[in-house]
Structures are given as structure tokens and as C-alpha cells.
């Protein structure tokens, strides 16, 4: 009787849960969300019809931010043919037999010999790469590599889940996320024992950002750099220490030297460097949207392949959203001036993006402004020597409008003193008459005396041709906040 009661209670519970789920389904259409975690188990990407997001962390695992990504596209290669692959070794073939062992997959990539065969996929702007494979054993039989240019490869460590496939084979699901500026992925078989027909690759799934191009500076000369400090030199000696690279940038003295690249709409950046293993002092990497105001970044630091004595260190930034410039600074004043060296730099950028900066030296680059605004030229030392900033002259609502076709992002440099001051509001418009307010992303850039410098940015804009900054509020002081410059990225 007790057992019967338990059964009744259980049945009622299951039914009520079932109806509860049905209720939820009836009330809202389900949103399919794909979440991807990094090797530390932290969420890095979340893709759904309601939005795509990238989550970043510092080296201690503290959340740095959440970036919205437009134009995330999925491409699936079922390996029914080789059309979607970029390269594969000749001895591979597509096995169409015994689909019943492979969850009914009628075509998988397989070997014909026990050799280190490989397949390469090319996709610019890769965010997440997944491979589904089958093996007649539980072993992990593949190595994974990623590359920005298809030539310099770095070993990548996927997260792996194992499930039971049909017919007693193990189904492995490998995920690479996040990929730092990768445009190519290579899978290589690594087992030289066992059966030639195991493992097999069933399919790969790629999430990537659309409309991304790529650019490499081999650093043969300074023609692709934007600016640099004086004491830099191209070293061509001992190429064997540097993967046969005959031209690398190094310092000529133990001073703080820097080199800057510009590419409007940069979304990822990779610097490949070599260090002599004594007194190693890391590079510092800064990003900027105007080449004037810089933000220190926390790059991914990857240990690359080592040639001879010099460890290769790769610095990578990905999912950049306010970057038209990147600066690398040599640090360290001890040891040898000829270490470290930069061998090449690789960038992904949004196709066709251009940037326009208005330093507000005058009103010529804005479309219009209201009467009680003033260009302040005083107290340069509080404003990093910026000779002209916009401020109010009355406690009234004031505004400035900028116009540009196809605005995609907007960055303004703002100084505020320690008073409550006025409030800045940001508006966007397609036609210049109907406006909608947007909440900007705020980054604190630095402090001079009583003034703090911030950037206020809007990202991922579409159907926007006008931007407006509005001052409001009537608390002291009239002179705060001040707008120092505005940069508009547009197509």
C-alpha cells in the first residue's frame, strides 16, 4: 500500500511538472540559446535569436565585460564532400559505409593509412569551432591548431565531451572557444596505432562574425605602421632563432619604445614576438579609437612554438569594439636591448570601416549646436593638453549634433570634475528628426588633478546617420562635463 501511495505521489509530481512545462511553452516561444565555455568553465559566448554576447575576464577570472556581437553566422560542414574544407592530406577519404555505427551519418572523413593526416578549414572571423568525431575507443586521437594567416599555427586545447554513439562507438564533441582572432583551424590525427578507420570526423560547426577581413604586417619595413618612437631597428641576424624570419623589430637602447598600427574597425589583433629567456619583461598593449586617447588592455598571452633558444610569445586581443589603433610598448630597462623582438602582427577588421575624429577645435565637423555652448581653451594641464573642449555657459539644456552616413559606432572623450555637474545624454537618429536615447558604455581612462577622463561609447549601431550629445541638469559646476573629442566609425 505504501509503495502504491509513493507511486501515486510520484505520478502526480511528474504530471504537474509536465503541465508546468507545457504552460511555459504556451506562454512564450522558446529561445534556443547556445552557450560556450572556455577551458576554465567560464561562459565566453552566448548566441541566441535575442542577441549574441561575448564575456571577457581578467587573469584572475573577474568579469571584465559583456560585448554584443552583430552578424554571428553558423556554417556546418557535414563532410558530404570536400567542398567546404580548405586543405586536406591526400590519403584521407570520405567513408560512406556503416552509417549505423555513426548515428546515421552517411559521410565521414577517415584515413587510409596510420599517418598524421590533417584537414584545414578556413573561415575569417571564427568565434567558436566544434568538431563531432567517432572512435571505436574512448581515446582522444586528434590535435587541434589555429591560425590567423594559415601559416603560423598554434596548438589549441579544445574542451571535450564524450557520449555513447550508435553501434558502440564513442562520440566526441570538441569545442574551441574563445578563438583569439583565428581564421583557420586544423585537425590532425595523431594515433599511429589501432585501426586505420578509427577515429573519423563526422562534421564541424563554425560560428563566425560576418564581414571581417584580415591583414598581416610581416615587419619587413615600417610601411604598414602608423607611428613609432626613435630607437627601433630591424634585426635580420640569427633567423633560425626566429622561425626563419629575416626582419624583426627590436630596440636599440633599453628605453621605453613604442610602435603603433592603424586599421579602422579592428576586431582582433595578434603580435608574434620572441624573447631571450633572461630578464623577460612583457610588452604592454594599448588600444585607441583616435590614436590620442589610449586604453591599457589585458591580452591573451599564448606560448608559441620555440625555435632554438628564444621562446615565442603571442599576444592576442579579440572582440575589440572601440579600436582603430593598437600600440605596443617595450618595457623593462634591464638586460639586453635586443630582446624582445616582434616578428609580425596580424589583424582582423570589419570590412570597409572608416573612422572620423572631431577634436572639436572648432564647429566645422559637427552639423549643428545650440547657443549656450562654448569651446574651452583654458587649464590645458587638466585635459591632457587638449586645447579645445565643449562646455556649457548656462544651466540650460544644450546639444551638439554630428551627421555621417551609416554610423556603426561612436566614441567620445569626456572630462568630469568632482562636482555633481551636468549630465550627458546620447541620442541616435536615422533622419535627424526622430531620436532615441541610448545608454553608452563608459570606460574610465585616467585622472588629472580634479578631473577624470572617460570614454562614452555606443556600439553595434545600424540605421543611424545622426548622433546627438545633450547636456542637462543645473547642479554645480557649469564647466563640467566637457567633451574633448568625438570619433565616429562608419561604412
Element of type H or E holding 21: helix 2-27
- Nearer to Ca ion among residue 45 and residue 134 (C-beta): 134
- Nearer to Ca ion among residue 53 and residue 456 (C-beta): 456
| 196/112 Cα distance (integer angstroms) | 6
- Nearer to Ca ion among residue 386 and residue 398 (C-beta): 386
Residue 13 Cβ, how far from Ca ion at the closest point, in Å? 41
Contacts (Cβ under 8 Å, ≥6 apart) of 42: 55, 57, 61
Residue keyed to cell 630607437: 231
- Nearer to Ca ion among residue 365 and residue 406 (C-beta): 365
Residue 341 Cβ, how far from Ca ion at the closest point, in Å? 9
Task: Give the DSSP per-residue string, 135-167.
Answer: ESSS---EEEEEESSSSS-EEE--EEEEEE-GG
Residue keyed to cell 509513493: 6
Residue 123 Cβ, how far from Ca ion at the closest point, in Å? 18
Residue 219 Cβ, how far from Ca ion at the closest point, in Å? 4
- Nearer to Ca ion among residue 293 and residue 409 (C-beta): 293
Residue 359 Cβ, how far from Ca ion at the closest point, in Å? 4
Cell numbers representing residue 214 in the block? 584580415
What is the sign, positive or negative, of the torsion defined by CA atoms of 231, 233, 237, 239?
positive
| 280/312 Cα distance (integer angstroms) | 12
Residue 317 Cβ, how far from Ca ion at the closest point, in Å? 20
DSSP 102: G
Residue 482 Cβ, how far from Ca ion at the closest point, in Å? 9
| 295/271 Cα distance (integer angstroms) | 17
Closest CA to 135 of 194, 74, 209, 93: 194
The pair phi, psi for residue 168, each rounded to 5°, is 80, 0
DSSP 128: E
What would you report as the CA-atom Rg of the chain, rounded to the nearest whole angstrom? 28
Assign 473 to helix, strand or coil.
Answer: coil
- Nearer to Ca ion among residue 78 and residue 397 (C-beta): 78
C-alpha distances out from residue 470 to 175, 391, 399, Å:
46, 11, 4
| 6/485 Cα distance (integer angstroms) | 71
Residue 413 Cβ, how far from Ca ion at the closest point, in Å? 8
- Nearer to Ca ion among residue 67 and residue 343 (C-beta): 343
Residue 420 Cβ, how far from Ca ion at the closest point, in Å? 23
| 434/431 Cα distance (integer angstroms) | 7
Helices (H) and strands (E) in the chain, counts: 1, 40
Spatial contact of 453 and 446, defined as CB atoms under 8 Å apart? yes
Cell numbers representing residue 209 in the block? 562574425
- Nearer to Ca ion among residue 218 and residue 300 (C-beta): 218
Spatial contact of 47 and 102, defined as CB atoms under 8 Å apart? no
Q: Which residues bind Ca ion (CB under 5 A)?
A: 78-79, 105, 107, 202-203, 218-219, 245, 247, 343-344, 359-360, 386, 388, 484-485
- Nearer to Ca ion among residue 72 and residue 313 (C-beta): 313
Residue 252 Cβ, how far from Ca ion at the closest point, in Å? 17
- Nearer to Ca ion among residue 45 and residue 129 (C-beta): 129
Amino acid at each position: 500500500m505504501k509503495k502504491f501511495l509513493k507511486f501515486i505521489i510520484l505520478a502526480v509530481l511528474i504530471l504537474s511538472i509536465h503541465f508546468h512545462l507545457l504552460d511555459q511553452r504556451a506562454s512564450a516561444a522558446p529561445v534556443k540559446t547556445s552557450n560556450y565555455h572556455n577551458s576554465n568553465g567560464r561562459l565566453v559566448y552566448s548566441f541566441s535569436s535575442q542577441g549574441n554576447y561575448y564575456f571577457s575576464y581578467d587573469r584572475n577570472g573577474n568579469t571584465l565585460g559583456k560585448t554584443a556581437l552583430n552578424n554571428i553566422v553558423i556554417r556546418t560542414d557535414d563532410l558530404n564532400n570536400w567542398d567546404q574544407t580548405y586543405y586536406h592530406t591526400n590519403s584521407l577519404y570520405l567513408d560512406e559505409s556503416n552509417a549505423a555505427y555513426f548515428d546515421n551519418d552517411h559521410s565521414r572523413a577517415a584515413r587510409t593509412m596510420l599517418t598524421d593526416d590533417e584537414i584545414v578549414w578556413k573561415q575569417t572571423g571564427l568565434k567558436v569551432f566544434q568538431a563531432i568525431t567517432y572512435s571505436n575507443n574512448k581515446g582522444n586521437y586528434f590535435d587541434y591548431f589555429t591560425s590567423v594567416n594559415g601559416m603560423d599555427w598554434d596548438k589549441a586545447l579544445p574542451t571535450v565531451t564524450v557520449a555513447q554513439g550508435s553501434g558502440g562507438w564513442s562520440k566526441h564533441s570538441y569545442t574551441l572557444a574563445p578563438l583569439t582572432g583565428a581564421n583557420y583551424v586544423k585537425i590532425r590525427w595523431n594515433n599511429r596505432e589501432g585501426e586505420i578507420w578509427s577515429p573519423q570526423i563526422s562534421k564541424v560547426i563554425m560560428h563566425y562574425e560576418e564581414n571581417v577581413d584580415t591583414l598581416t604586417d610581416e615587419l619587413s619595413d615600417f610601411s604598414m605602421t602608423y607611428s613609432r618612437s626613435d630607437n627601433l631597428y630591424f634585426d635580420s641576424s640569427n633567423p633560425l632563432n626566429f622561425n626563419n624570419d629575416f626582419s624583426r623589430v627590436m630596440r636599440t637602447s633599453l628605453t621605453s619604445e613604442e610602435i603603433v598600427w592603424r586599421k579602422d574597425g579592428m576586431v582582433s589583433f595578434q603580435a608574434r614576438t620572441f624573447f631571450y629567456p633572461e630578464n623577460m619583461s612583457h610588452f604592454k598593449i594599448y588600444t585607441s579609437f583616435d590614436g590620442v586617447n589610449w586604453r591599457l588592455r589585458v591580452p591573451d598571452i599564448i606560448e608559441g612554438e620555440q625555435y632554438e633558444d628564444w621562446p615565442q610569445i603571442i599576444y592576442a586581443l579579440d572582440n575589440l569594439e572601440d579600436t582603430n589603433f593598437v600600440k605596443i610598448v617595450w618595457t623593462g630597462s634591464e638586460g639586453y636591448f635586443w630582446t624582445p623582438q616582434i616578428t609580425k602582427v596580424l589583424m582582423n577588421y570589419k570590412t570597409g570601416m572608416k573612422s572620423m575624429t572631431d577634436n572639436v577645435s572648432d564647429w566645422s565637423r559637427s552639423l549643428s549646436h545650440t547657443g549656450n555652448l562654448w569651446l574651452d581653451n583654458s587649464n590645458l594641464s587638466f585635459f591632457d593638453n587638449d586645447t579645445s573642449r565643449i562646455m556649457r555657459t548656462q544651466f540650460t539644456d544644450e546639444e551638439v549634433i554630428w551627421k555621417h552616413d551609416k554610423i556603426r559606432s561612436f566614441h567620445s572623450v569626456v572630462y568630469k570634475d568632482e562636482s555633481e555637474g551636468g549630465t550627458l545624454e546620447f541620442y541616435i537618429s536615422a533622419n535627424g528628426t526622430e531620436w532615441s536615447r541610448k545608454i553608452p558604455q563608459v570606460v574610465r581612462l585616467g585622472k588629472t588633478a580634479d578631473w577624470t577622463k572617460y570614454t562614452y561609447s555606443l556600439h553595434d549601431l545600424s540605421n543611424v546617420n545622426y548622433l546627438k550629445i545633450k547636456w542637462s541638469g543645473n547642479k554645480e559646476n557649469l564647466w563640467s562635463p566637457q567633451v574633448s573629442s568625438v570619433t565616429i566609425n562608419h561604412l
